[in-house]
Structure 1
Amino acid sequence: MKLRPVIFGLAAAMLLGSSVPASADPATALPARLSVSGAHVLDPSGQPIVLKGYNWGHWGTVQPQDPGDHVVAGANSVRIPLRWWGVWKDGVDSRDTTAPGHISPSHLAVLDQMISQASANRLWITLFVDSDYGQGAGGHPDNFWTKPEMKQEFKEVWQFLVRRYKSTPYMGAFEILPEPKPAGVNDDGVRAFYDEMIGVIRGIDRRTPVVVGPNDNYSCSHLEGAYTTVDPKVIYTCNYFIFDKPLNRIGLITDFRSAHDVPVWINQVGVESGDVDAKSKARSVLQAFDDNGIGWAWWTYRLNGTNPDTHGIYYRDPADPNGWILKPGWLALVNGFLAA
């Protein structure tokens, strides 16, 4: 099945210097927020909510129909990226030291658009700021632990974003920095970084939960080292890419959750489509999440590449750079667990 994207313009509210509208009447109360109580994330009515949805992980690939399709399938959340200070193909890096918030105006407009689309469809948004350099990926010598001036810039990025979106409806959580792996920095050092960043965010917004994860590329085996007491509105996360032993990390997650009475949500779960028994493994993991009340975001909805055997519910049509090809079996599989 091939679908061609709809080309659309940015609304006037997304122009440089404007922010996503918070509500029709600025004099009304601030929009409702998620909260944390023990091991549960609560919706604004105080009822437990298990956040489930997709990643819009590949920059600039979201189509106008996507958020509505997620809602129809049963999703209640979406994870949205901003890539900042790193090496990515196709000009994905949004860093611009001369711009407000050190964010390229063109990238900010795209981010505004994604957040507006998700918010309008009542999907709880997890906004994450990725930084290949900052997190120390590949042992990069310049990162947020070795370059204080870059950590300060990153703080200013988050200050800008929190001010911009703190009154946006359905802003679910701020995920500070995914997949840290700075060379020579132990779990305590990574946790100290998150604690400091939580303080930066709480200086502007005390309501919206924050998401933190463990050292070693968000390894579930390092969850214990991520535990913090600096803030009660913390949602913990780790990666769950699916390999030969698909259920080998479920106990790590549930044990950590029980030991500290805190919520754990999986920011990325996925498997390459060409892997042996990929669909069977994916079903077993998503069923285990459902059985244990673990929320998740599938990696990823649209893949900015032409290989059908990697991640993605949609991938690029190699014969048409503006076209998309759907993997219908994978859409049915993941959507089936969204509705559960």
Structure 2
Amino acid sequence: MIKRSVGLVVAACGLLLTACLPADAAPPSALPQRLKVSGAQVLDPQGHPIVLRGYNWGQWGTVQPEDGADNAAAGANSVRIPLRWWGEWKEDVDSRDPDAPGHIDPAHLALLDQTIARAVDKHLWVTLFVDSDYGQGAGGRPDNFWSNPAMKQQFVEVWQFLAHRYRTVPYMGAYEILPEPKPIGVDDDGVRAFYDSIIPVIRRIDARIPVIVGPNDNYNLKHLPGAHTTIDPNVIYTGNYFIFDNTLSRIPDILDFRQRFDAPVWINQVGIPSGNPDSRAKARSVLGAFAENDIGWAWWTYRISGSNPDTHGIYYLSPDGWVVKPEWLKLVNSFL
């Protein structure tokens, strides 16, 4: 089903994005407004503080035409969107094509264009992340962006391509360079140096868009201080907050980092499997703490391609189509 959806968007995508996608170059007067980091806050284009809250559209190929409008109507102001590149996932979602422009398969790129267009059309600030199970060193894979210079260079060229492509697209909120790094034998300084090497690549193309970086050890918030960079001030910091028994144990890590470095923290993934004991109570506790402390977040996830209603996801996919979990939709929407 997901393979088929990728193919179907190719013909339609050009029409959909006629008004959205940039030419190769644009004068400064044509550039859209962007978010900006100021101390520990993110500011909207009018200079007002904005706390980014919304959903992950994290399962590739699952986004439906109504999702942008539904998210915005619920109160979301942002959405996190993936490009899966160089990895091995449950579905055939690897977008890498070393011979294509930007090293991205054209059908996958068309679907990415369509997904972004559905968000920006409803004025949702888009966080675009490029995921790579192989490149980040997931599962102890030794061949990664730290150990394979040729693959790192391809990854750099992916970001060059994407930054050019979306330079004049409105409501591009931030570029999350590489989620959940866990390279073998690389410490926090090494992970930070990796991000520091790619931030200037993006800056040479789009000098204004915030970039997002996170800590070593799969975005472990305990490692957050090690992610702090001095190479660029327009940086948002992130980490995972999958909800376990000690539901609020990581809130101090976020607040301590924010105060110590005067820098914003936004949680790229917060979530809990629906079938876990006391899952809704735990979710309310965490989302309530985020609200109390002005911590932005993206819920994992909006739609999940699996058929098990007890895992993550506000919607799951049954043999008869998408099924909503109404109690979860109400709960998460109440914190947007």
User: How far did residue 88 of structure 1 move?
Assistant: 1.0
Take 2:242 and 2:19, find their aligned partners in 1: how far apart are those partners? 34
- Over 3 Å counting, the alpha-carbon distance change for 1:48 and 1:152 in structure 2 is same
Partner of 1:326: 324
| 1:21 aligns to 2:28 (yes or no) | no
CA contact (8 A) 1:14 1:109 kept: no
Identical-pair percentage: 67
User: How far did residue 180 of structure 1 move?
Assistant: 0.1
User: How far did residue 21 of structure 1 move?
Assistant: 3.0
Letter in 2 for 1:325: V
Partner of 1:335: 333
Take 2:43 and 2:22, find their aligned partners in 1: how far apart are those partners? 21
Classify the secondary structure of the residue corresponding to 1:221. Answer: helix
Q: For 1:152-301, what aligned pairs fall within 5 Å after superposition?
A: 152-301=153-302
Please provide the CA RMSD for this pair. Answer: 1.7
Partner of 1:10: 12
Classify the secondary structure of the residue corresponding to 1:310. Answer: coil
Partner of 1:96: 97
Take 1:102 and 1:229, find their aligned partners in 2: how far apart are those partners? 30
Q: For 1:32-71, what aligned pairs fall within 5 Å after superposition?
A: 32-71=33-72
CA contact (8 A) 1:174 1:209 kept: yes
Take 1:315 and 1:204, find their aligned partners in 2: how far apart are those partners? 38
CA contact (8 A) 2:55 2:79 kept: yes
Take 2:15 and 2:199, find their aligned partners in 1: how far apart are those partners? 29
TM-superposition CA deviations, 1:210-245 (whole Å, max 9, x none): 000000000000000000000010000000000011
Take 1:13 and 1:261, find their aligned partners in 2: how far apart are those partners? 43
CA contact (8 A) 2:20 2:170 kept: no
Letter in 2 for 1:330: W
| 1:303 aligns to 2:301 (yes or no) | no
Classify the secondary structure of the residue corresponding to 1:10. Answer: helix
Take 2:232 and 2:162, find their aligned partners in 1: how far apart are those partners? 20
Classify the secondary structure of the residue corresponding to 2:30. Answer: coil
CA contact (8 A) 1:175 1:210 kept: yes
CA contact (8 A) 2:22 2:165 kept: no
Partner of 2:127: 126
Letter in 1 for 2:246: K
TM-superposition CA deviations, 1:141-197 (whole Å, max 9, x none): 110001000000000000000000011000000000000000100000000000001
CA contact (8 A) 1:22 1:31 kept: no
User: How far did residue 10 of structure 1 move?
Assistant: 2.1
How many equivalent pairs are there?
326
Question: TM-score normalised to the size of structure 2?
Answer: 0.94
